[in-house]
Amino acid sequence: MQTTSHNFKQNARDALTDVQLQKALSKMRPGFQQKRADAVAKLPEFEDLRDRGRDIKNHVLENLDFYLERFESNVIANGGQVHWCRNSEEARQTIMEICRSVDAKTVTKGKSMVAEEIGLNEYLEEHGVEPIETDLGEYIIQLRDEPPSHIIAPAIHVNKEQVVEAFRKKHTDLPPDRPLEEVGDITDEARTQLRPKFFAADVGITGANFLIAETGQTVIVTNEGNGDLTQTLGKAHVVVASLEKIVPTLEDASCILRLLARSATGQEFSVYTTFSSGPRRETDLDGPASFHVVLIDNGRSAMLGTEYQDMLRCIRCSACMNHCPVYAAVGGHAYGWVYPGPMGAVLTPSLIGIDEAGHLPNASTFCGRCEQVCPMRIPLPKMMRHYRAKEFTENKTTSQVRAGLGLWSYFAKRPWLYRQSTKLGAVLLHALGGKRGRIAKLPLASGWTSVRDMPAPEGRTFQQLYKMSGHGKKGDAR
């Protein structure tokens, strides 16, 4: 997929003034957060499950080669094939070869972020195969010819009226004056349009939430049922998966599944969790005649053993972006590649490099909510900080930022000077705030004060107040 991550600042500026986008984002904020909180409250074991989920994935990553080989041998034992691919190009070619082997004209697709990562749709189209997205959100953005903006709700940036507009424009075989105002009408129309395509498709491509080493099964978690129609009705079932999706056993998968839906949509469990292994058996009445797992590295094996290894625990639930104030303000497209929000701010530079995606780890207030809600307890802010430090030591930060940091560190390294100057600063800012206690203009901070007033300090520094409160005395262990 083409990236515009290097252009994050401009992307974000555009996003903030995009009326349609802001309208759509305003609808998103309360829903996901409240639903997750409700689901978590109903399961007393949730926090313990997070610890256990983290431990499972850490164990897998430490033994990844073993589990991948075991997974492969079990897929083969079930009659399927595993195709190892180092990069996007190898993966695209492999999938195209499978399509050619069954003389494919059309391909139905379940939602897959790694398929976006390798730019699969464009490649298939260029080679004469028509990819049909079947998840409603993915279908909408395919009609609108744009990439997803969220990893589980790909069309979250689109308002209902825009969906209606896209349907009216593209579904030209239907009467132009048909009613299409209710969400039910839209869903029904997509259902009717796509149903025959499931039956006609030569190949069904899905992603995978898990790969189970013990059984050679691949797992998809969905709500619509499109993934299941995709993988049941096509002649061949192709699973596209990155290699960190492995878990050892069905018991491990059960544990992490208890975290996934609750963290993602706030459901107790998603509607369809489907375990697939191999092609249809000899006596089966339906199912695909062949089964292929396209196993993609694309930079992940190089993350092992580094300070970014923990990122490979990610189960793509989207809780981090659903709770991120930056994502909520600018949406997913501003991030410029496949993975937005806090997980994207760490994964994107890891996979496509800091030169292209260096802005993303800076797109955070470090409020810490992402880590607070991450079911796999991934220390996202810590890893973003690593990237900022790396950017600094590699001299990739702007001269303005470097000058500011230099000035700050001059004071920070001289405690007496620091205390005196902050005392002075607090008094001055207090005076500047006047009776209202708010400051409307500040030198060098017009970017901040042009749209809001800064609350003025009360006249004392944090250190002074801390001392006065009686904390921090000798003998106080805290």
Residue type, position 402, single letter: R
Which string of x and - marks every residue 22-51 that binds another protein (by CB under 8 A)?
--x--xx--xx----------xxx--xx--
Residue type, position 112, single letter: S
Q: What is the dihedral of CA 313, 317, 318, 322, to 10 degrees?
A: -120
Q: Which of 134, 142, 290, 318 binds another protein (CB under 8 A)?
A: 134
Q: Which of 89, 126, 178, 199 binds another protein (CB under 8 A)?
A: 199
Segments of 270-347 assigned E as strands = 272-276, 290-296
Stretch that binds another protein, among 168-176, 243-251, 407-415, 424-432 (CB under 8 A): 243-251
**Residue closer to another protein (CB basis): 121 or 134:** 134
Window 214 to 233, contacts with another protein (CB under 8 A): 214-217, 223-226, 228-229, 232-233
Whether 76 contacts 362, CB under 8 Å: no
Structure tokens at 413: 């390294």
Stretch that binds another protein, among 122-130, 241-249, 428-436, 441-449 (CB under 8 A): 241-249
The contacts of residue 204 (CB under 8 Å, 6+ apart) are: 107, 108, 109, 110, 229, 230, 231, 232, 233, 234, 236, 237, 238, 288
Which string of x and - marks every residue 157-176 that binds another protein (by CB under 8 A)?
--xx--x-------------
Q: Which of 179, 184, 447, 470 binds another protein (CB under 8 A)?
A: 184
Whether 260 contacts 221, CB under 8 Å: yes
Q: Which of 275, 221, 212 is nearest to 246 (CA)?
A: 212
What is the separation, in whole angstroms, between the first and last Cα of the chain?
A: 50
**Residue closer to another protein (CB basis): 258 or 313:** 258
Contact flag: residue 362 with another protein (CB under 8 A): no
**Residue closer to another protein (CB basis): 333 or 359:** 333
* Shortest distance, position 419 Cβ to another protein, whole Å: 46
CA angle 205, 208, 214 (to 5 degrees): 120
* Shortest distance, position 196 Cβ to another protein, whole Å: 7
How deeply is 196 buried, as exposed, middle or buried, from its count of CB atoms within 10 A (0-12, 13-18, 19+)?
Answer: exposed
Window 62 to 101, contacts with another protein (CB under 8 A): 62-70, 73-74, 77-78, 83-86, 90
Which string of x and - marks every residue 409-428 that binds another protein (by CB under 8 A)?
--------------------
Q: Which of 389, 333, 338, 342 is nearest to 7 (CA)?
A: 333
Whether 350 contacts 311, CB under 8 Å: yes
Window 363 to 392, contacts with another protein (CB under 8 A): none
> Residue 403, Cα to own-chain centre: how many angstroms?
34
Structure tokens at 287: 């199912």
* DSSP notation for 181-233: -SHHHHHHHHHHHHHHHHHH-SEEEE--SEEETTTTEEEEEESSSHHHHHHHH
How far is Cα 310 from Cα 306, in angstroms, rounded to an integer? 9
* Shortest distance, position 16 Cβ to another protein, whole Å: 21
Q: Applying CB under 8 A, what is the total number of residues that bind another protein?
A: 107
**Residue closer to another protein (CB basis): 150 or 359:** 150
**Residue closer to another protein (CB basis): 272 or 418:** 272
**Residue closer to another protein (CB basis): 103 or 286:** 286
**Residue closer to another protein (CB basis): 114 or 229:** 229
**Residue closer to another protein (CB basis): 102 or 255:** 255
Q: Which of 179, 196, 443, 475 binds another protein (CB under 8 A)?
A: 196
Whether 110 contacts 230, CB under 8 Å: yes
Q: Which of 34, 101, 187, 409 binds another protein (CB under 8 A)?
A: 187
Q: Please state the φ and ψ torsions of residue 274, each to the nearest 5 degrees.
A: -120, 130
Window 248 to 287, contacts with another protein (CB under 8 A): 248-252, 254-255, 257-258, 265, 267-281, 283-287
**Residue closer to another protein (CB basis): 311 or 439:** 311
